[in-house]
């Protein structure tokens, strides 16, 4: 399977727009310096952000052990509420646990240790080279760069057929919950930009801002995968609706991200062909790859899912499935994420029903 010409042109066009988006916060930062006569690289750093020590400690703890504990607690609540019912088979349970534990206990510590050993060798003069960048500008630059890169990483794994199998594991479950946020093939995780970005930025002197981005992004993405529809009050309570209108276009919510995990697009709610945003749904708004319905799909997963062995889903193509005809089997078909008769994004409707952004 190949990318058709129309899609290739759209990817190219959107890629060029992305270059502008990457540069925009940097240009704005230097423009503000020019307006206010501010030269932080010369030592005139008059407006740095420095949070109280206890706030810094909170974010550091959240980044290390706090977030996993929160995810486990909320996951236990979901389990107690009957979210998984008969869906969490032994195979699915092992897969979710392995995907949650291995990156946190093996991959990230390994990358952090060797990254901080490797960077001084190849960039000996770059240590703390950008520590002069004011906190809020660093936060904005990193948030845009990190999440826009992840948007493209995610989008290409859907739109380029041969990449799909590296991301398929994230979509194979027929349920949504906290476990889904980390459910990924190990190769997808290894090339995940944030795995390396935080380490590199820490070395360059932007570790504090990178830490804030990481924690806030983790909260948003975990909340978007949660089975708890925390965004629903913003669609139903009158005085919250204006906030909800902004919120659902700015960040990923359960309604917008659950649509991405639906197993069909036939109901006008599911849209696995778009809604690629991770922290920011804004990218889907800009590139026309999303829909907003304020509703939640009735079913999730992949129609042709064979519940392949957990090790094949986690370690493909190193280990392959023994199930005949599976995408993850030896010489398995490359089918991409497509199903027949995929509809175009729905048209604009009033707030009470569907709101299209594509």
Please give the average per-residue pLDDT across 167-193, as a whole number: 88
- Token pair of 185 as six digits: 């093939």
pLDDT at 69: 58
Find out whether 284 and 276 touch, Cβ atoms under 8 Å: yes
Say which range, 1-10, 52-61, 89-98, 286-295, has the weakest mean pLDDT: 52-61
β-pair partners for 292: 355
Beta pairing partners, 251 = 280
Nearest to 333 by CA among 121, 87, 161, 199: 161
Distance CA 261, CA 97 (A): 19
The fraction of the chain above a pLDDT of 90, given in percent, is 45
For range 144-165, the mean pLDDT: 94
Query: Is 80 exceeded by the pLDDT of residue 250?
Result: yes
Residues 202 and 131 sit within 8 Å (Cβ to Cβ): no
Over its C-alpha atoms, the chain yields an Rg (Å, rounded) of 21
C-alpha 235/C-alpha 354 separation (Å) is 11
Residue 77: the pLDDT is 58
Predicted confidence (pLDDT) at residue 248 exceeds the cutoff of 90: yes
Under DSSP, is residue 333 helix (H, G, I), strand (E, B) or coil? Answer: coil
> What pLDDT, on a 0 to 100 scale, did the predictor assign at position 104?
80
Predicted local confidence at residue 344, as pLDDT: 42
- The candidate with the shortest Cα–Cα distance to 225, out of 171, 282, 186, 267, is 171
Q: How confident is the model at residue 58 (pLDDT cuts 50, 70, 90)?
A: low
Of 279, 168, 157, 160, residue with least CA distance to 225: 279
**Among the ranges 33-47, 73-87, 113-127, 337-351, which has the highest mean pLDDT value?**
113-127
Contact 11, 3 (CB under 8 A): yes
What tokens does 194 get?
């944030």
Q: What is the pTM of this model?
A: 0.84
Give all strands (DSSP E) within the chain, no chain letters.
291-292, 355-356
Tokens of 33: 């310096």
**CB atoms inside a 10 Å sphere around CB 93:** 13
Q: Is residue 347's pLDDT more than 60?
A: no
27-36, 57-66, 342-351: least confident range: 342-351
Instruction: Write down the mean pLDDT value for the chain.
Output: 83
Under the banding of pLDDT at 50, 70 and 90, the label for residue 358 is very low
For residue 45, what pLDDT is reported?
46
Provide long-range contacts, Cβ within 8 A and 24+ apart, for 314-322. 314/95, 314/98, 314/99, 314/102, 314/169, 314/185, 314/186, 315/185, 315/186, 316/165, 316/166, 316/169, 316/185, 316/187, 317/165, 317/187, 318/186
Whether the Cβ atoms of residue 304 and residue 323 lie closer than 8 Å to each other: no
- What does the pLDDT read at residue 207? 84
Q: Which residues sit opposite 291 in a β-bridge?
A: 356
CA dihedral of 125, 128, 131, 137, whole degrees rounded to 10 = 90
CB 316 within 8 A of CB 165: yes
Question: Is the pLDDT at 73 greater than 70, yes or no?
Answer: no
**Residue 346: pLDDT band by 50, 70, 90 thresholds?**
very low
> What is the predicted pLDDT for the residue at 182?
87
pLDDT in tens, 12-40: 999 999 999 999 999 999 999 999 888 88
Who wins on pLDDT, 305 or 66? 305
């Amino acid at each position: 399977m190949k990318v058709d010409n129309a899609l290739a042109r759209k990817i190219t066009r959107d890629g060029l727009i992305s270059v502008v988006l990457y540069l925009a916060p940097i240009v704005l930062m230097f423009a503000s310096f020019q307006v206010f006569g501010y030269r932080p690289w010369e030592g005139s750093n008059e407006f740095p952000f420095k949070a109280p020590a206890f706030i810094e400690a909170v974010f550091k703890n959240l980044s290390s052990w706090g977030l996993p504990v929160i995810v486990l607690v909320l996951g236990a609540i979901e389990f107690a509420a009957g979210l998984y019912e008969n869906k969490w088979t032994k195979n699915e349970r092992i897969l979710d646990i392995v995907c949650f534990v291995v990156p946190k206990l093996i991959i990230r510590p390994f990358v952090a240790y060797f990254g901080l050993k490797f960077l001084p060798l190849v960039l000996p003069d770059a240590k703390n080279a950008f520590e002069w960048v004011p906190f809020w500008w660093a936060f904005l630059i990193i948030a845009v760069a990190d999440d826009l890169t992840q948007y493209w990483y995610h989008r290409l794994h859907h739109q380029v057929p041969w990449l799909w199998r590296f991301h398929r594991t994230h979509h194979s479950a027929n349920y949504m919950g906290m476990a889904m946020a980390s459910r990924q093939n190990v190769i997808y995780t290894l090339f995940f930009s944030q795995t390396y970005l935080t380490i590199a930025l820490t070395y360059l002197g932007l570790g504090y801002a990178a830490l804030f981005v990481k924690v806030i992004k983790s909260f948003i993405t975990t909340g978007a995968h949660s089975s708890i529809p925390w965004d629903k009050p913003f669609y139903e309570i009158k005085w919250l609706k204006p906030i909800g209108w902004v919120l659902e276009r700015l960040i990923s919510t359960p309604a917008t991200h659950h649509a991405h995990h639906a197993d069909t697009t036939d109901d006008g709610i599911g849209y696995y062909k778009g809604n690629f945003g991770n922290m920011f749904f804004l990218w889907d708004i800009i590139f026309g790859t999303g829909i907003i319905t304020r509703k939640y799909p009735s079913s999730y997963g992949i129609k042709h899912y064979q519940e392949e062995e957990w090790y094949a889903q986690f370690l493909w193509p190193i280990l392959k499935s023994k199930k005949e005809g599976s995408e993850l089997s030896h010489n398995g078909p490359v089918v991409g994420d497509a199903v027949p008769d995929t509809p175009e994004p729905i048209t604009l409707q009033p707030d009470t029903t569907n709101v299209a952004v594509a």
